[in-house]
Amino acid sequence: MSIGFSEVLSERMFGELNEKQDEYLKDIDASGQHLLSLINDILDLSKIEAGKMDLEVSDFNLPRQSTVPGC
């Protein structure tokens, strides 16, 4: 799902895009989705702090990944 004007461009409402424009549009869309996800997470945290949302504690597995080569 696209956000705002990027959706209009992806639907080619103003004509075709060249390959580079299409690549930029995909980057814009991915960045917009990431930003929207961050905003939603912040809003959820504010609801928790205000006591309007409860946390459910559960166990989960978190795979260990090293950011240092060779570790």
| 55 closest CA partner among 67, 66, 47 | 47
pLDDT band, very low/low/confident/very high, at 2 (cuts 50, 70, 90): low
Q: Where are the domains of the chain?
A: 5-49
Q: Is the pLDDT of residue 70 over 70?
A: no
Residue 11 corresponds to which tokens in the numbers above?
A: 């639907």
pLDDT band, very low/low/confident/very high, at 67 (cuts 50, 70, 90): confident
The DSSP secondary structure of 21-39, one letter per residue, reads: HHHHHHHHHHHHHHHHHHH
pLDDT tens digits, 20-64:
999 999 999 899 889 999 999 999 999 999 999 888 899 999 888
Q: Is the pLDDT of residue 1 over 60?
A: no
Q: How many whole angstroms separate alpha carbon 65 and alpha carbon 71?
A: 9
